[in-house]
Amino acid sequence: MPTSHQIYRVKAFQIVAPYTLRMEFDDQTQQTIDFKPVLGGELFGPLRELSTFNQVQIDPEVRTLVWPNGADFDPETLHDWPRYAQALAERARRWESQPA
């Protein structure tokens, strides 16, 4: 079954500001993302601690960004961030407004 989901791989990244990463992908494109608006909920909320956020690495197998607590993003989401940013930020706000 064909898929419309493009497969991208993160080749490199650089921390350019607090909570902000610039990534280079295997198709030679770049994306700079401020992750702060999407850091909510059980998985992504702990990344609001800057020292935890800064532990980001590239997973050597799937070539996406990963954090020590298991948080990660699909590389296609990172590559096409403007398409997803608003929905992810809204989801993070909902997660934070839910009672524990």
Q: If we measure between CA atoms, which residue out of 24, 10, 26 comes closest to residue 74? A: 10
Judge whether 49 and 71 are in contact, CB under 8 Å.
no
Name the band, by pLDDT with cuts 50, 70 and 90, for residue 95: confident
- Looking at residues 46-71, what average pLDDT do you find? 97
Task: State whether the Cα torsion 8-9-10-12 is positive or negative.
Answer: negative
Walk me through the domains of the chain, giving residue ranges and CATH numbers: 10-97 (3.30.2020.10)
The CA distance from 70 to 37, in Å, is 19
Q: Is-above-0.95 flag for pTM?
A: no
Determine the length of the chain.
100
